Structure 1
């Protein structure tokens, strides 16, 4: 038998949404800054490489971008439902904050 309180799930969802919105807004601002920094760094690397000052192993750099898939093992229905309520709220808030940021 599941021992879940709808009020607790609602509070977890709302709290996750607020925190997700704040983090999403900040993440978009930080992502823009990081994109500019990485872009400038790549341009500098290409320039220094074309001048013969620096040798960049582009294959080694691109190997780090390959992601591995992970498998999640879920064993308890209660923990999944509780996690989903916070996660769904966080995701919704994150997406709204990211879009508005």
Structure 2
């Protein structure tokens, strides 16, 4: 059995380069999609707080999020509610994205 070492090296090198480029591109695409999903969730939350849109968060999260927390008797102004609801979704997504980015 005759093994061509030069061809084997060329094949390994080409495969490595193609794999590296594909992995790099896949990571970039995954990050872009994650940002789009986060922006979309924040936009949904903002539009819901402005009473423009009604979002069924239970169905959207497929039951993963637990509904909870008793509301206080005093209600803050609407702009505060909008800001806090948008910040919570955006902040959670940003923190999760940062952890995932650092781990990946």
| TM-score normalised by structure 2 residue count | 0.42
Q: Which has the higher contact order (CA 8 A, sep 6+)?
A: 1
Report the structure number with the largest CA radius of gyration. 2
**TM-score under structure 1 normalisation?**
0.43
